[in-house]
Amino acid sequence: MFDLRSISKSFGSLKALDQLDLQLKPKIITGLIGPNGSGKTTLINIMTGIYAPDSGSIYFHQQNLTGESAECFAQKSIARTFQNIRLFKRMTVMENIMASLVTKEKNKRNNWFSYPFTRNKFNLNKAHEVLEIMNLKDQRNLFAEELPLPLRRKLEIARALVAEPEVILLDEPAGGMTPSETFEMAELINLHVAPGRTIVLIEHKMDLISKICNHLVVLNHGEKIVEGETHEVLSHKKVLEAYIGI
């Protein structure tokens, strides 16, 4: 489905991605790992249209999306979270979730005249559902900037979920979390995010990776060095080299 062919991206003289090929397998969790600065986030940015690749092409369901805008990628039902959390700071948790529904297909119950937008029953039900799933119900009237970090990460995922995307790209969903919070996040992803969806998960925490990823891709210096089943990859010589630097 998601098909990246020899993607390159440079920032000045720095090659962040170098002739990278990647085919996502539908309906499984693909882990994307690699040392700091290896180009993982850049790859996700390219997969959501935030950066256009310098060369190479991007296909989604056989459709060429190379050079399209971020809006276009979003409308193809691709959602993401950010490593440096991005929320609408001056909106409440509820409004942040509703914001994600703003551009969803205009069905009978969600058109320009469904008024007021934030009280729309159809949307509200959806939003309450995700809030329930992500355990954010009690915070729904807080402003996003008032949330502690783990809840902000959850809100980002909730926002992605509510749009019912086909693909979700998670950029370090457990970044900065304690082991127990990480554990809870792993459960959430396994139970509620992953089923029926194609997921890409960037993470540095190997226990999280080994717990939930079926498939792994390892990047180093913008190149794909290994790809395969999780347990095989994790014991691969090249991976150990890249990480431990032997």
Partner 1 sequence: MITDFVQNCIDGIMVGSGYSLLALGFTLVFGVLKRLNLSYGPSIMLGAYVGTWSFLNIADNIWLVLLTTICATVVIGIYVEQLCFRAVSKETTIASMVSSFAIWMQLEEIALHLLPERTYPFPAFFDSGLLEFGPFTARSEYLFMFVVMLLLLLILHAFIYRTRIGLAIRAYSDHPSASAYMGIDGSSVLFLAFIIVSIIGGIAGFLILSADSQITPFFGLWATFKGLIAMMLGGIGSLSGAVLGGLILGVIEANAFWYGDPVIRDISSFMLLFTMLIIRPGGIFGHKIEIHQKIASERV
Partner 2 sequence: MLNDYLLTVISNIGMISMIAISAYLILITGEISFGQQAYFGISAYAGSIATTLWGWPFWMALIFGSFLAGVAGGLISALTVRINGIYYSIATLAFAEMVRLSLLKFSYQFEIDGEWIGPNGSEGFGEIRWIFENDISILEYTLLIYLVLFLLIAFIYLIEHSKLGMIFRMLGQDPLLASVQGVKIIRYKVLAASLAGFAAGLGGMLYAHSFTYIEPQIFNVMLGVHSLAYGLIGGLGTVLGPIIGVVLDIGFLESIRGIQGYRMIVFGGLMAVMLIFMPRGILDEKRVHRFKKFWEGKTHV
Ligand X SMILES: Nc1ncnc2c1ncn2[C@@H]1O[C@H](COP(=O)(O)OP(=O)(O)OP(=O)(O)O)[C@@H](O)[C@H]1O
Question: Which residues of the chain form contacts with partner 1 (CB under 8 A)?
Answer: 41, 45, 50, 70, 82, 84
Residue 90, interface with partner 2 (CB under 8 A)? yes
In whole angstroms, the minimum distance from the beta carbon of 141 to partner 2 comes to: 6
Which residue sits closest to Mg ion, CB atoms considered? 41
CA distance 229 to 187: 21
DSSP assigned state of 24: P
* H or E element at residue 47: helix 40-47
Options 3-11, 22-30, 97-105, 211-219: segment touching partner 2 (CB under 8 A) = 97-105
In the list partner 2, ligand X, partner 1, none, the entry touching 34 (Cβ below 5 to 8 angstroms by class) is: ligand X
CB 184 within 8 A of CB 161: no
In whole angstroms, the minimum distance from the beta carbon of 99 to ligand X comes to: 25
In the list Mg ion, ligand X, partner 2, none, the entry touching 39 (Cβ below 5 to 8 angstroms by class) is: ligand X
Tell me which residues touch ligand X (CB under 6 A).
11, 14, 16, 34, 36-42, 83
Catalogue the E-assigned strands of 90-238.
Answer: 167-171, 198-202, 215-220, 223-229
Binding mask 131-160 for partner 2 (x = CB under 8 A): ----------x-x-----------------
DSSP assigned state of 143: B
| Minimum CB distance to ligand X smaller for 40 or for 197 | 40
201's CB contacts (< 8 A; 6+ apart) are 29, 30, 31, 32, 170, 173, 189, 209, 212, 213
